Structure 1
Amino acid sequence: MDWKIVKGREEQVEEIAALYARTIDALVEGVNYTGWRRGGYPGEATAREGVAAGTLYVAQKEGAIGGTIILNHLYEGAYEKGKWAVDCPYSEVFCVHTLVVDPACRGQGIASALLDFAAAEGRRAGMRALRLDVFEENAPAIALYEKKGFERRTRVDLGLGIPGLKWFYLCEKLL
């Protein structure tokens, strides 16, 4: 059975938050490509807000959640510095956030499936592009994004104010 991608539900918020915590624990204990830290982003508030807004999607199989993605029109201020291939308002762009795969489910194509879903949803909704930011040292994510058709447009400081998390690539996939 393949992973099915559906909107996250209120009753899944705690499970999604636990998935985020497991992922951060695995990153902190291994190579922390994202720079995420315990007690920060993403957490329960991220899950709760995404579910409430109807923008958080989960990859699930047999009732278990293997990954998440958030698709919305919200972007960091530094995106204004982006050298985007398509000049359009953000109402015509899906911004990709919180692409997370449960460490126990890695290697099953979940992240790839979530990005394919994002592109399909974007096309269905009439979006012109997908955009995201990725920490410049997150080589695995950069490789995946480029494999899925994203192009690096600009290197920016997102202004997070977190030591070691300064430079990010702004990436775009035209739809």
Structure 2
Amino acid sequence: MTFALRDAAFPEDLPVLTRFMAGLCDVEHALHPGRRTGADGAEAHVRYLAREVAANRGRMILAETQQGAAAGMMICAVEDMGGHYLYPDHQVVGFVYDLWIEPVHRGGPLLDMLLDCAEAHFRELGMTVMMISYLVGNDRAAAAYEKRGFRPNEVMLERRVR
């Protein structure tokens, strides 16, 4: 199948972005109870990310089939890692915040297309590092990202405060 990528128009594409974000939220909520469900926070999160994208040289990309059906999304922006513990080329990086591919289109070329789009955007901005994250337990995402050259960088642990 062939897909076309385009920058999402905001707020015109808010309904489809919210639907995709709701799917992602529900998957993540099943992995971690601290994550909001789609019904509880998808639209607010998309609106937040739209502001982040605008403020931080990012992009909200929609993927569509040849027939014009929405197939996936990718949201990315430039992220300053802060502090003085990193060398300059690792201090300011391209970060893929959220990525969703409709289940029927998983396992095909769409993930590569979306990640290639993000990489090209960051390269154009002079970035040399691109980062992405996933929740522990999302083994499918971990395998897909590692297959495409991403390697663990930092593991964040959590514990409830008693």
TM-score (norm 1): 0.68
**Quick one: distance in 2 between partners of 1:152 and 1:70?**
20
Higher-helix-fraction structure:
2
Q: What's the RMSD between the two structures over aligned residues? A: 3.2
Aligned-pair identity (%):
25
**Quick one: distance in 2 between partners of 1:55 and 1:34?**
27
Higher-strand-fraction structure:
1
Provide closer, same or farther for how the CA distance between residues 141 and 85 of structure 1 changes in structure 2, counting only shifts above 3 A: farther
Provide closer, same or farther for how the CA distance between residues 103 and 33 of structure 1 changes in structure 2, counting only shifts above 3 A: farther
1:110 aligns with 2:110: yes
| Post-superposition offset of 1:22 | 4.0
| Post-superposition offset of 1:113 | 1.9
Partner-residue secondary structure (3-state), 1:153: coil
2:61 to 48, 52, 57: 57
**Quick one: distance in 2 between partners of 1:71 and 1:101?**
15
Q: Which has the higher contact order (CA 8 A, sep 6+)?
A: 1
**Quick one: distance in 1 between partners of 2:40 and 2:147?**
29
**Quick one: distance in 2 between partners of 1:20 and 1:112?**
19
Aligned to 2:74: 69
1:129 aligns with 2:129: yes
8 Å CA contact 1:84, 1:153 repeated in 2: no
Task: Give the counterpart letter for 1:143 in structure 2.
Answer: A
Partner-residue secondary structure (3-state), 2:149: coil
Partner-residue secondary structure (3-state), 2:70: strand
Structure 2: 5+ residue stretches without partners: none
**Quick one: distance in 2 between partners of 1:23 and 1:151?**
22
| Post-superposition offset of 1:86 | 7.2
Aligned to 2:15: 14
**Quick one: distance in 2 between partners of 1:86 and 1:146?**
24
Provide closer, same or farther for how the CA distance between residues 98 and 123 of structure 1 changes in structure 2, counting only shifts above 3 A: same
| Post-superposition offset of 1:139 | 1.1
**Quick one: distance in 2 between partners of 1:86 and 1:134?**
25
Provide closer, same or farther for how the CA distance between residues 22 and 65 of structure 1 changes in structure 2, counting only shifts above 3 A: same
Aligned to 1:98: 98
TM-score (norm 2): 0.73
